[in-house]
Amino acid sequence: MTLTFALDDPRATPLHVMESDALDAWCADQAPRVSAWVRASAFKAGLGSSLLIPDENGGVAMALAGYGDAKARARGRFHLAQVATGLPEGVYRLIGLPEDRLEEEALGWLLSAYTFDRYAEQKPAKARLVCPEGVNAARLETIAAGEALTRDLINTPAEDMGPDALEAATRDLAVAHGAHLSVTVGDELLEANFPLIHTVGRAAEKTPRLLDLRWGKEGPLLCLVGKGVCFDTGGLNLKPGSSMSLMKKDMGGAATMLGLARMIMGLGLPLRLRVLIPAVENAVAGNAFRPGDIFKSRKGLTVEINNTDAEGRLVLADALALGAEDAPDLMVSMATLTGAARVAVGPDLAPYFTDVEEDADALDRAARDVADPVWRLPFHAPYETMIEPGIADLDNAPKGGFAGAITAALFLRRFSGDVRYMHFDIYGWNPNAAPARPKGGVGMGARALLGALPEMLKL
């Protein structure tokens, strides 16, 4: 799907963005027939509302977009995306929107046209926008393309998005941007010392693999690690049906990292990029790994398996260990890792962990600037003992149910070495339709991270 702005067209319909308390003053400056039409239509400029105003010949002279008030806007984002879906087909030009809201609303307008139509015909919004003056159209189109890639990958069911299909999507991305992709598959994982990735994926018909994408020749090295569990049954600790229904999204970390990589490469950021994706299915078969098993990781740490449904941290552990061997300037993992994170902050916030205050500050600022909300959780060192079972170096599923997102993050940090490291525990799914964010797969934290990278890596 291509999400683009309309070409600049002098015939584009003027779309006046109107706060509720400014409507009366605006009407007072218009021709009597215009103000009469607005009054007769009972238009109040409520947030997300719209109104077409006819010309003397019955055509469209202009349109109004309700922008509500500050209190209403604080309860959401991408407000004009709702206007975009309510307007008829045509090309529109924004008038009156504050400069500091132009990028957010223009991007939201682009994303309002996203649909997932692989299996059934959909009806995207047909109102197109001329990119506002002063906004970098190519940049926003590239960001929208990365987000659309993430959504497409998450929305595709596991039958068509197994480890092999995730590899194919990654290869397509590499080819499109001149990147190099190497893949380690099946028993080659054992030979190459990725025992945990092999362990989790060995029971599935579609063989496990590690995808390793590299791009760029100069600049700081950024390593992105995404959890690619293409479907998670829970393994021998089988999930109930209600918990399994959305497990096609358990590769949401990988999908988000690929979307972010698409943005980075498309924008030509001056850095070296490495993307590592352990792509597996956590299946049930006679050779599935078992509760109580102990395995040695790539780093040499032993892990006791106390729940086969805590498999994401296992595959990430080997990938993080590999990434750390390259001594990147920054390593970031992204995963749909724990229900605890979802319970703590809900589906709209991307929880993240870092020990570097400057990185947290940069990310928080960028998140506010680009309307991609994040929330910092702590690498709380006193909880380290909770992931130490005694019989092995680490426990993949501490008992008790306390601080599940934090103990998972602490587990992953054990494999990041001395590298500057940040971890996101995302949900990757929008349960209810919202402006520019239809129900289904969604990127979380990627745009915030993209916005923070120049400061974090001194680009």
Catalytic site residues?
A: 239, 313
Angle between helices 137-155 and 446-456 (to 10 degrees): 130
Which amino acid would we find at residue 457? L
Q: The dihedral of CA 162, 209, 212, 457: what is its sign?
A: positive
- How far apart are alpha carbons 134 and 132 in whole angstroms? 6
Sequence-ordered list of residues with C-beta below 8 angstroms from that of 352, at least 6 positions apart, any chain: 363, 374, 375, 376, 377, 422, 423, 424, 425, 445
